[in-house]
Structure 1
Amino acid sequence: MTARLFAVIIGLSTVPIVVADLLQAPSDAPQPATGSPTPTAKPVATAAPRPPVVLTDEARRIHAAALLFDGHNDLPGEIRSKGDSSFDKLDISKPQPQLQTDIPRLKQGGLGAQFWSAYVPSSTIKTGGATRYGLEQIDLVHRMVRRYPDAFELALTADDIVRIRASGKIASLIGVEGGHAIENSLGVLRTFHDLGVRYITLTHSDTLDWADSATDEARHGGLTEFGEQVVLEMNRRGMLVDISHVSADTMRDVLRVTRSPVIASHSSAYALAEHPRNVPDDILREIKPNGGVIMVNFYSGFVDAQSAIISREAQIRSRELRATEKDEAAVDEAMKKWFDDHPRPRGTVHTVVDHIDHIVKVAGIDHVGIGSDFDGVDLLPEQLEDVSCFPYITQELLNRGYSEPDIHKILGANALRALRQAESVARDWKN
Structure 2
Amino acid sequence: MADLQEELNTTAEAGELDKPPAPPEPVAEPLPVREPDPQPETRCARAHALLTAHPVADGYSGLPRKLRELPWYDFETGDSGLESDIPRLREGRVGAQFWSVHVPEGTSPDRAVGTTLEQIDLVKHVVDAHPEGLRLARNASEAADARNCGRIATLIGPAQGGALGDSLGTLRALHSLGLCAVTLSGTSWAGADGLTTFGEEVVREMNRLGVLADLSGASEATARRVLAVSKAPVIFTRSGARALREHPANLGDDLLAAVGAAKGLCLVPLAAERTGPSVRDVADHLDRVRRVAGPECVGLSGTYDAAEAHPEGLGDASCYPRLVAELLERDWSEAELALLTWGNVQRALRGADFTARAARERRAASTATIERLDG
TM over 0.5: yes
- Mapped to 2, the partners of 1:222 and 1:238 lie a distance apart of 22
Partner SS, residue 70 of structure 2: helix
Partner SS, residue 70 of structure 1: strand
Residue 430 of structure 1 pairs with residue 360 of structure 2:
yes
> Hey, what does 2:225 align to over in structure 1?
253
Partner SS, residue 175 of structure 2: helix
Per the TM alignment, residue 163 of structure 1 is displaced from its structure 2 partner at its CA by: 1.1
Q: Which runs of 5+ in 2 are unaligned?
A: 1-38, 362-375
> Hey, what does 1:77 align to over in structure 2?
65
- Mapped to 2, the partners of 1:177 and 1:194 lie a distance apart of 14
Higher relative contact order (CA 8 A, sep 6+): 1
> Hey, what does 1:91 align to over in structure 2?
74
Per the TM alignment, residue 177 of structure 1 is displaced from its structure 2 partner at its CA by: 3.0
> Hey, what does 1:405 align to over in structure 2?
335
* Per-residue CA distance 1:58-98 (angstroms, 9 max, x = gap): 22111111131011000111001123xxxxx2121122453
- Mapped to 2, the partners of 1:238 and 1:132 lie a distance apart of 22
> Hey, what does 2:30 align to over in structure 1?
none
Partner SS, residue 118 of structure 1: coil
1:53/1:392 contact within 8 Å kept = no
> Hey, what does 2:156 align to over in structure 1?
174
> Hey, what does 1:110 align to over in structure 2?
93
* Per-residue CA distance 1:85-115 (angstroms, 9 max, x = gap): xxxx212112245321211111111110111
Supply the AA of the counterpart residue of 1:68.
V
- Mapped to 2, the partners of 1:256 and 1:402 lie a distance apart of 31
> Hey, what does 2:187 align to over in structure 1?
208
Any residues of structure 2 matched to 1:307-322 within 5 Å, and which?
none
Per the TM alignment, residue 185 of structure 1 is displaced from its structure 2 partner at its CA by: 0.6
Q: Classify 1:132/1:399 alpha carbon distance in 2 versus 1 (closer, same or farther; 3 Å).
A: same
- Mapped to 2, the partners of 1:261 and 1:255 lie a distance apart of 8
> Hey, what does 1:316 align to over in structure 2?
none
2:269/2:303 contact within 8 Å kept = yes
- Mapped to 2, the partners of 1:385 and 1:53 lie a distance apart of 19
- Mapped to 1, the partners of 2:73 and 2:149 lie a distance apart of 26
Partner SS, residue 113 of structure 1: strand
Per the TM alignment, residue 234 of structure 1 is displaced from its structure 2 partner at its CA by: 0.6
Partner SS, residue 60 of structure 1: helix
Aligned Cα RMSD in Å? 1.5
Supply the AA of the counterpart residue of 1:282.
D
2:44/2:325 contact within 8 Å kept = yes
Partner SS, residue 296 of structure 1: strand
2:98/2:158 contact within 8 Å kept = no
Which of 1 and 2 has greater Rg?
2
1:67/1:413 contact within 8 Å kept = no
- Mapped to 1, the partners of 2:113 and 2:135 lie a distance apart of 24
> Hey, what does 1:385 align to over in structure 2?
315
Per the TM alignment, residue 53 of structure 1 is displaced from its structure 2 partner at its CA by: 6.6
1:370/1:412 contact within 8 Å kept = no
Supply the AA of the counterpart residue of 2:167.
S
Partner SS, residue 94 of structure 2: coil
Supply the AA of the counterpart residue of 1:95.
G
Per the TM alignment, residue 350 of structure 1 is displaced from its structure 2 partner at its CA by: 1.0
- Mapped to 2, the partners of 1:303 and 1:96 lie a distance apart of 29
2:238/2:249 contact within 8 Å kept = no
Any residues of structure 2 matched to 1:21-40 within 5 Å, and which?
none
> Hey, what does 1:419 align to over in structure 2?
349
> Hey, what does 2:256 align to over in structure 1?
284
Residue 367 of structure 1, aligned match among 284, 293, 297: 297
- Mapped to 2, the partners of 1:165 and 1:270 lie a distance apart of 34
Residue 285 of structure 2, aligned match among 338, 351, 355: 355
Supply the AA of the counterpart residue of 2:249.
R
Partner SS, residue 59 of structure 2: strand
Partner SS, residue 373 of structure 1: coil
Any residues of structure 2 matched to 1:192-207 within 5 Å, and which?
192-203=174-185, 207=186
Where do 4+ consecutive residues of structure 1 move more than 6 Å?
none
Any residues of structure 2 matched to 1:270-309 within 5 Å, and which?
270-304=242-276
How many residues are paired up?
322
1:122/1:180 contact within 8 Å kept = no
Q: Which runs of 5+ in 1 are unaligned?
A: 1-51, 84-88, 213-217, 305-346
> Hey, what does 2:240 align to over in structure 1?
268
Any residues of structure 2 matched to 1:56-67 within 5 Å, and which?
56-67=44-55
Supply the AA of the counterpart residue of 2:84.
T
Per the TM alignment, residue 396 of structure 1 is displaced from its structure 2 partner at its CA by: 1.1
> Hey, what does 1:186 align to over in structure 2?
168
- Mapped to 2, the partners of 1:95 and 1:53 lie a distance apart of 27
Supply the AA of the counterpart residue of 1:56.
C
- Mapped to 1, the partners of 2:88 and 2:146 lie a distance apart of 19
TM-score norm. by structure 2 comes to 0.83
- Mapped to 1, the partners of 2:177 and 2:80 lie a distance apart of 31
